Amino acid sequence: MSDAKTIVILGGGVGGVVTATSLRKMLSDQHRVVLVDRERDHLFAPSLLWLMTGQRTSSKIRRPLHGLARKGIEVTRGEIKKIEPEARRVRVVDRSSGHDRGSCRDFDADYLVVSLGAELAPEIIPGLTEAGHNFYALSGAESMRDALESFDGGRIVVLTATAAYKCPAAPYEAAMLINDYCRKRGIGDKTQVDLYAAEPGPMLVTGPEGSASVRRMVEDNGVTYHPEYQVVEVDAHARRITFDNGATAGFDLLAYVPPHRAPRVVREAGLIDDSGWIPVDRYTLDTRFPGVYAIGDVTGIPLKMGKPLPMAGVFAERQAKVVARNIASSITGRGEPALFDGRGECFIETGGGKAGYGGGDFYAEPTPQITFRKVGRRWHIGKVLFEKNWFRKLF
């Protein structure tokens, strides 16, 4: 047992769960695979849009992380208080027993994988939390669903608080799905859906043609699009948004994407650089600390075009498989090293049981080479099947 290794994975989202399950398949039982997360459940975030529009319940889009124990993964529920990347040591307030006041545990890792995602910080924008619904969080998606159920017409605003956020298609999907929901409820003729975006165009990393394609989807579905509107504050009482260009916008119902930042414990660990995110090798996901990897939304990978690789679950999943394979190869001495190739794709829900689809090579130079497919029912069905297969394969 002297050769037994311990791999500690921080975060039970897409990247963390895929890393843990992949490693458990590739390593013998003498090696420990430990997953740490503060939440009890793994949440399938892409389905929050369906939950918001009444097509899912919370029980359908989450699973208890402790179910991974059946696969031989040690699951610890707790708050990560400190990361020491040089020592590969993590301090956790263990709440696995369910008590609010847990005991501190230190985990010493031979390999450490940071997959803590992006922290949602609506409090950065004055008044935003009080004025609207953060549909990137389970509680906000549920409150927006409840608000939509009682909504009888007026102006709904979907807002991106900053230009950089995870799931780049999600706010555009949200606007289209909300508009479709109102039509189905028979209040479409009394409802106006406006999308105010901090960015100059949707999903600009895909290139001008891809961005224009997504904009057409949005506008063809009856949503009014307002690019380059950077919010500075929101008056919850007056239901009014103020932007940095001096413009204002009123609303009856507000759904928003909040500002993102690296989690506090990551910032305090000295893992981030000037970008505010963890710099990694774009192919292997190594950090500057030996034996420490970072994957998913918490990383910053600059592209040749000057923009970062988008924060998206598809990249977290594929990066996780690369890291898992390379750790297993390092431990066992078997297998060729794997490289993350920057390829990815996503569905874009438009409502009415239809969706678009785009994907390609984001590492292509000088710009990503992305192809968008025509909106149709097949892509919506594809996303439904992806959701079902996700839980079936991992839980």
Pair 65, 86: CB distance under 8 Å: no
Band (pLDDT 50/70/90 cuts) for residue 95 is confident
At 191 the three-state DSSP class reads strand
The reported pLDDT for the residue numbered 139 is 98
d(Cα 62, Cα 75) in Å, to the nearest integer? 16
**378 domain residue, yes or no:** no
The reported pLDDT for the residue numbered 383 is 96
Band (pLDDT 50/70/90 cuts) for residue 1 is very low
**31 domain residue, yes or no:** yes
Q: Same domain, yes or no, for 104 and 162?
A: no
Per-residue pLDDT tens for 191-243? 999 999 999 999 999 999 999 999 999 999 999 999 999 999 999 999 999 99
Per-residue pLDDT tens for 293-336? 999 999 999 999 999 999 999 999 999 999 999 999 999 999 89
pLDDT value at 394 more than 80? yes
Q: Same domain, yes or no, for 255 and 275?
A: no
pLDDT value at 354 more than 60? yes
Task: List helix spans (H) across the chain.
Answer: 14-26, 48-52, 128-131, 138-150, 170-184, 208-220, 264-268, 313-332, 377-394
Q: Same domain, yes or no, for 59 and 177?
A: no
Q: Same domain, yes or no, for 164 and 288?
A: no
Indicate which CATH number applies to the domain containing 76. Answer: 3.50.50.60
β-strand partners of 196:
159, 226
The reported pLDDT for the residue numbered 102 is 72
Which tokens in the block code for residue 6?
């311990």
Mean pLDDT of the chain: 96
By the 10 Å C-beta count (0-12 exposed, 13-18 middle, 19+ buried), 35 is classed as buried
Which tokens in the block code for residue 257?
């994407």
By the 10 Å C-beta count (0-12 exposed, 13-18 middle, 19+ buried), 124 is classed as middle
d(Cα 38, Cα 40) in Å, to the nearest integer? 7
Measured in degrees and rounded to the nearest 5, phi and psi for residue 355 equal: -155, 160
Last residue of a domain, one of 307, 332, 357: 332
Band (pLDDT 50/70/90 cuts) for residue 97 is low
Mean pLDDT to the nearest integer, 64-76:
97
Number of domains in the chain: 2
Mean pLDDT to the nearest integer, 82-106:
86
Q: Same domain, yes or no, for 141 and 252?
A: yes
pLDDT value at 25 more than 50? yes
**216 domain residue, yes or no:** yes
The reported pLDDT for the residue numbered 106 is 95
Which tokens in the block code for residue 379?
């892509």
Residue type, 253: L
143 alpha-carbon distance from chain centroid: 19
Per-residue pLDDT tens for 261-281? 999 999 999 999 999 999 999
Q: Same domain, yes or no, for 173 and 232?
A: yes
Last residue of a domain, one of 204, 239, 259: 259
Per-residue pLDDT tens for 334-351? 989 999 999 999 999 999
pLDDT value at 99 more than 80? no
Q: Same domain, yes or no, for 24 and 57?
A: yes
CA torsion, ordered 113, 115, 116, 118, to nearest 10 deg? 140
Band (pLDDT 50/70/90 cuts) for residue 93 is very high
Side-chain-facing half-sphere of 287: CA atoms under 13 Å:
27
Residue type, 106: D
**369 domain residue, yes or no:** no
The parent domain of residue 103 ranges over 6-118+262-332
Q: Same domain, yes or no, for 48 and 162?
A: no
Last residue of a domain, one of 259, 288, 317: 259
At 84 the three-state DSSP class reads strand
**76 domain residue, yes or no:** yes
Q: Same domain, yes or no, for 136 and 77?
A: no
pLDDT value at 2 more than 70? no
d(Cα 270, Cα 274) in Å, to the nearest integer? 11
At 50 the three-state DSSP class reads helix
pLDDT value at 353 more than 90? yes
Per-residue pLDDT tens for 104-157? 999 999 999 999 999 999 999 999 999 999 999 999 999 999 999 999 999 999
Q: Same domain, yes or no, for 85 and 133?
A: no
**338 domain residue, yes or no:** no
pLDDT value at 4 more than 60? yes
The reported pLDDT for the residue numbered 190 is 97
Q: Same domain, yes or no, for 134 and 254?
A: yes
**384 domain residue, yes or no:** no
Calculate what percentage of the chain has a pLDDT beyond 70: 98
Q: Same domain, yes or no, for 69 and 160?
A: no
Which residue from 288, 301, 294 is spatially nearest to 319, judged by alpha carbons?
A: 294
Residue type, 369: Q
Mean pLDDT to the nearest integer, 359-383:
96
**371 domain residue, yes or no:** no
C-alpha distances in angstroms, 239 versus 249, 253, 257, 329? 8, 8, 17, 56
Q: Report helix angle 208-220 to 170-184, nearest 10.
A: 20
Calculate what percentage of the chain has a pLDDT beyond 90: 95
